[in-house]
Amino acid sequence: MSARKPGRARSREELMVPDAEFQSYYGRPVLKPPVWEWKVPAYLFTGGLAAGTSLLAAGADLTGRPRLRRVGRTGSMAALLASVYLLVADLGRPERFHHMLRVAKPTSPMSVGTWILTAFGPGMGIAAAAEVLPAGLRRRWPGKLLGAVARPAGLASALVAPAVASYTAVLLSQTAVPAWHEAHPQLPFVFTGSAAASSGGFAMVLVPVEEAGPARALAAMGAVAELVSSKVLEQRLGLTAEAYTTGKAHRLRKWSERLTAAGLLGALAGHRSRALSVAAGAALFAGSALQRFGVFEAGVASTKDPKYVVVPQRQRADAAEG
Amino acid sequence: MSIEDRLSGPLPDVAGEAGHAGHPPRVGFFTDTSVCIGCKACEVACKEWNAVPEDGLDLLGMSFDNTGALGANTWRHVAFVEQPHPPSGPSTAPPPATAEDLGMPSFDLPGAKTGADGRTDFRWLMASDVCKHCTHAGCLDVCPTGALFRTEFGSVVVQQDICNGCGYCVSGCPYGVIDRRPDDGRAQKCTLCYDRLHDGLEPACAKACPTDSIQFGELDELRERAAHRVEQLHERGVTEARLYGHDPTDGVGGTGAFFLLLDEPEVYGLPPDPVVPTRELPAMWKYAGVAASALLAAAVAAFGGRRR
């Protein structure tokens, strides 16, 4: 490891790759930048949140923590509804969103994801409905039925939840976008870590400290996973790492790192103070959101500068020729 | 056939693999840039036939190329490379003369001198670029609606009545070809004039090309013709001539539209060694599976020690 201070991005850039000389067509990009805008990274965040909170809800249900269960189920449903809105609104033809359900295509992570969400959503909807049902309706037979199926429905969704949190990494990686494609071994861990941190943080804000123990634990584990895998990503990506460690992506991810680290300390220390727990939870929540936007921005930046395409491919082609 | 070959390897019968029984032979383009004169007839013919909207009248200020790149409204694009330095790669060019050649007009008729002695340090490279109709097409693989499909001719086409504009194909293409048309919301690219092929006609760009720089035909035959042309150019001392996209063992299983280039691909704005992103699909899902399992384990552990 380098003897320099790890927090200094500038010194790390100097260590990594010298300025690459390469040929291009008037410096114009080789790839098209993603047509996706803020809604897609926002979806990456809400999808992870929906997944993580459903896991917390299922655990709370099984271990008898009604307030954590309630926050988990309703939070998961709200995040899921936001996800669906963001996904549909980002389409070029939103009125045709249902064409996603025409086919099931294993080579398309977006198609696979559509079916994962379809498997996840209804169960979560039932579990969340059982939480918000007015007391009057609860005593009639439909309310009783709903109460009875809420647990199996919520548990079934929780089993699908890890797939909801991790498939989005494959969605980004199976593109020609260098910063996303090259990061395919690390991105799933960044994303599931981020999902755990944000949902743990979410519950820390809304659940009293005595019931939020598992949320703090999940948040802490997620924050560690996110911080570590995000660092590993920067170390392993070679030239492509520059897309993560410079510009807007760098600023977003730097703030994500700070907030997540602060939130981690708060989660470890905040088992007595509600105020500390809320602050730590909010920091984790925000850190996770910034992580998604940072990863997204890195991808966009890597399509705009032809060096990210030409330099590694030229090296590979030259190596193959011998 | 192994899963690897299905995802990225050589695929001799691409239309058959896609389920077309008794299909016609695979067709494509061989674009020989050594005879391109940059007339842009292909760009215009493509726009006319396919009713592709105009791109606007931007002057890019970099060369005679004001179209810039392939996109939703540009299905054929002619690149103009002004090259004031000797070409890269193997070359038998004589050492530079004492006077700097600025490529200025001279008293000689342009093109009056031919062969190796007629060449100067300065040269124009012109190349008509198009969708590559890859054997393993990144855009087709990632399309979640089935709007992109493989035709019986082996080409890749967007069904405009199905596309919901998700934009995944745009990021899936390792050549930066397909794009979403902003006012329309759907993905657009070269169709290899699918409608004309049905009537036994060649695509509009090939029809309009006055120098036969764009050649249309059966892919196997085009590959033979291209190999012969490279040989011919090498014999004439044009050692920098090379083919691009012709090799079925490359990262996309070979392309349906391939090129004879006079310099490295990146000089023309083409990626030097493109790979279909789908090649890494099994590895990606493996990592995602491990990460998902870790999340589930973390959730169990979070509740584990605290059961009451």
- For A244-290, the DSSP string reads HHSHHHHHHHHHHHHHHHHHHHHHHHTTS-HHHHHHHHHHHHHHHHH
- Please judge whether A92 and B268 are an interchain contact, meaning their C-beta atoms are less than 8 angstroms apart: no
- Please judge whether B302 and A111 are an interchain contact, meaning their C-beta atoms are less than 8 angstroms apart: no
Q: What pLDDT was estimated at residue A20?
A: 56
Residues facing residue A104 across a β-bridge: none
Task: Compute the count of residue pairs across chains A and B with CB atoms less than 8 Å apart.
Answer: 258
Q: What pLDDT was estimated at residue A205?
A: 97
**CB burial class (10 A; 0-12, 13-18, 19+) of residue B35?**
middle
User: Would you call B258 helix, strand, or coil by DSSP?
Assistant: strand
Paired tokens of B140? 């087709």
Cβ atoms A314, B273 nearer than 8 A: yes
Sort out which chain B residues have CB atoms less than 8 A from A215's CB and list them. 302
- Please judge whether B280 and A99 are an interchain contact, meaning their C-beta atoms are less than 8 angstroms apart: no
How would you classify residue A272: left for phi > 0, otherwise alpha for psi between -120 and 50, otherwise beta?
alpha
Distance from CA of B45 to the nearest CA of A (A): 24
Nearest to A90 by CA among A285, A291, A270, A296: A296
Q: What pLDDT was estimated at residue B119?
A: 63
pLDDT along chain B (308 residues), means of 10: 81 94 96 96 97 88 91 96 65 49 60 63 89 97 97 97 97 98 96 96 97 97 97 94 96 97 96 97 97 98 71
Paired tokens of B292? 């998902």
Q: Which residue of B has its CA nearest to A197?
A: B295
Sort out which chain B residues have CB atoms less than 8 A from A228's CB and list them. none
Interface test with B, best of A38, A69, A166 (most B CBs within 10 A): A166
Positions in chain A short of pLDDT 70 = 1-20
Sort out which chain A residues have CB atoms less than 8 A from B63's CB and list them. 26
Distance from CA of A289 to the nearest CA of B (A): 18
Sort out which chain B residues have CB atoms less than 8 A from A311's CB and list them. none
Sort out which chain A residues have CB atoms less than 8 A from B173's CB and list them. 31-32, 176
- Please judge whether B185 and A218 are an interchain contact, meaning their C-beta atoms are less than 8 angstroms apart: no
Q: Please state, as a whole number, how many other Cβ atoms lie within 10 Å of the Cβ of residue B224.
A: 12
Nearest Cβ partner for B185 among A36, A92, A191: A92
User: Would you call B165 helix, strand, or coil by DSSP?
Assistant: coil
Q: What pLDDT was estimated at residue A16?
A: 47
Whole-angstrom Cα distance, residue B39 to residue A272? 76
User: Would you call B199 helix, strand, or coil by DSSP?
Assistant: coil
Whole-angstrom Cα distance, residue A133 to residue A140? 11
Provide ipTM, 2 decimals.
Answer: 0.92
Which spans in chain A are helix H?
9-16, 39-63, 66-89, 109-132, 135-138, 141-173, 178-181, 187-206, 213-236, 242-245, 247-269, 274-304, 307-321
Cβ atoms A182, A295 nearer than 8 A: no
Q: Which residue of A has its CA nearest to B89?
A: A318
Nearest Cβ partner for A176 among B147, B166, B174: B174
User: Would you call A40 helix, strand, or coil by DSSP?
Assistant: helix
Interface test with A, best of B77, B132, B149, B166 (most A CBs within 10 A): B166
Specify the pTM: 0.91
Sort out which chain B residues have CB atoms less than 8 A from A181's CB and list them. 277, 280
Nearest Cβ partner for A32 among B179, B271, B283: B179
Nearest Cβ partner for B167 among A36, A102, A158: A36
Sort out which chain A residues have CB atoms less than 8 A from B68's CB and list them. 28
- Placement of tokens 């001279």 in the chain: B106
| Residue B270 vs residues A135, A275, B114, B199, B245: alpha-carbon distances, Å | 65, 56, 28, 32, 10
A255 residue type, one letter? W
- Please judge whether B162 and A99 are an interchain contact, meaning their C-beta atoms are less than 8 angstroms apart: yes
- Please judge whether B173 and A32 are an interchain contact, meaning their C-beta atoms are less than 8 angstroms apart: yes
Nearest Cβ partner for A93 among B81, B165, B171: B165
Q: What pLDDT was estimated at residue B2?
A: 76
Nearest Cβ partner for B271 among A30, A51, A107: A30
A169 φ/ψ angles, rounded to the nearest 5 degrees: -65, -40
**CB burial class (10 A; 0-12, 13-18, 19+) of residue A143?**
middle
- Please judge whether B142 and A221 are an interchain contact, meaning their C-beta atoms are less than 8 angstroms apart: no
- Placement of tokens 């009451």 in the chain: B308
Interface test with A, best of B11, B171, B249, B287 (most A CBs within 10 A): B171
Q: What pLDDT was estimated at residue B16?
A: 95
- Please judge whether B176 and A221 are an interchain contact, meaning their C-beta atoms are less than 8 angstroms apart: no
Q: Which residue of B has its CA nearest to A302?
A: B171
Residues facing residue B77 across a β-bridge: B129
A113 residue type, one letter? G
Nearest to B142 by CA among B164, B168, B175: B168
Sort out which chain A residues have CB atoms less than 8 A from B179's CB and list them. 32, 35
Whole-angstrom Cα distance, residue A211 to residue A55? 15
Q: Which residue of A has its CA nearest to B280?
A: A174
| Residue A168 vs residues A8, A41, A108, B181: alpha-carbon distances, Å | 30, 10, 12, 25
- Please judge whether B167 and A22 are an interchain contact, meaning their C-beta atoms are less than 8 angstroms apart: no
Q: Which residue of A has its CA nearest to B172?
A: A175
Q: What pLDDT was estimated at residue B186?
A: 97
- Placement of tokens 């949902």 in the chain: A199
Whole-angstrom Cα distance, residue A296 to residue A187? 11
Residues facing residue B62 across a β-bridge: none
| Residue B123 vs residues B32, B99, B106: alpha-carbon distances, Å | 17, 16, 14
Paired tokens of B66? 């004001």
CA dihedral B251, B257, B260, B263 (to 10 degrees): -50
- Please judge whether B142 and A55 are an interchain contact, meaning their C-beta atoms are less than 8 angstroms apart: no
- Please judge whether B63 and A110 are an interchain contact, meaning their C-beta atoms are less than 8 angstroms apart: no
Q: Which residue of A has its CA nearest to B139?
A: A175
**CB burial class (10 A; 0-12, 13-18, 19+) of residue A272?**
exposed
Whole-angstrom Cα distance, residue B142 to residue B123? 40
